[in-house]
A = this chain, B = another copy of it.
């Protein structure tokens, strides 16, 4: 189960950038979950290239639900969602077969698959496959919301520009749910956009940090060893291409502090046990403590850039130079925000189903 994630709620991905379609099979969903095709479309739109700051490849991301949905609700059997590829220009990619792009999977894929991989547009490694992840996540996000569990991601940093931190979670999550460039401070959008356009102009690219918050999780989800909440979420999140770091709560900053500063004191507030601070990101001992789960992902700059780079020619086995042509993104951080939402939502559904059973997500 190499490209499958989850035991009780599982997602299996398939598809290549220039093949017939990309898609996902989601199994283990509770029966009776309303499937909102408009919401799926909205989520796919958020992931789509956006004007001048993205690749020129434009697709409607028309999706087809092949199975597992009947009369607008999940049946409880596997849901296959398929997104046909449309705007493919394979001619752009023939040079790529021999000249491997630094920072990209071209070289490792050629070695792993012995040259049989579909190299066009990154093939199965293409960020396009994340459209399937988004469609899958969009199936479960409304169901989680109906149980009081919300997920939201903002770009906390991009090209060196900082967004403000979460303040009033409820209001901030509403703002992010409304769509648009995923930041909390409206002025950050302009500054970040400028960095992206600069990068494009320089034939270069920029990275950033995504911060995801989950509210409403019950206490007691996750396991002490291996299937910790941190372990399960990070396992899934590192699938998002370009993510090279994952941290929870204060994460790496905790390394430089003391126990007295890092510990979150418990208090009884309105008859409910809470922590006064949330340095641990809602997780103690691998298990949710009912405070918001906070996870941040480092997104590296897109590896495909127009600048001339040193590379090798796989066929000649010689040194060579590469200037990527084709269409590519100078930044994918903002597009990846909705992917992070969806990956986190799917991984949590698996943990929740393991603890409470399959039907829990659908129970009223």
Contact = CB atoms under 8 A, between A and B. Distances in A.
B256 A157 contact: yes
B1 A7 contact: yes
Contact of A14 (B79, B101, B124, B312): B79
Oligomer: number of copies: 4
Consensus secondary structure, chain A interface: mixed
Contact of A224 (B82, B105, B268): B105
B357 A75 contact: no
Interface string A270-284: 010101100111011
Nearest to A206: B258
B284 A70 contact: no
Contact of A259 (B257, B287, B303, B362): B303
Nearest to A157: B255
Q: How large is the interface on A (under 10, 10 to 19, 20 to 34, 35 or more residues)?
A: 35 or more
Given A244-B251, A298-B247, A305-B263, A231 B226 contact: no
A137 interface: no
A67 B15 contact: yes
A349 interface: no
A296 to B, nearest CB: 8
A325 to B, nearest CB: 15
B207 A254 contact: yes
A231 B230 contact: no
A266 B67 contact: no
Contact of A15 (B7, B66, B70, B362): B66
A238 B295 CA distance: 13
Q: Ordered nearest first, which 8 A-B pairs have the shortest CB separation?
A: A105-B285, A245-B247, A205-B259, A103-B263, A265-B310, A357-B357, A112-B220, A102-B263
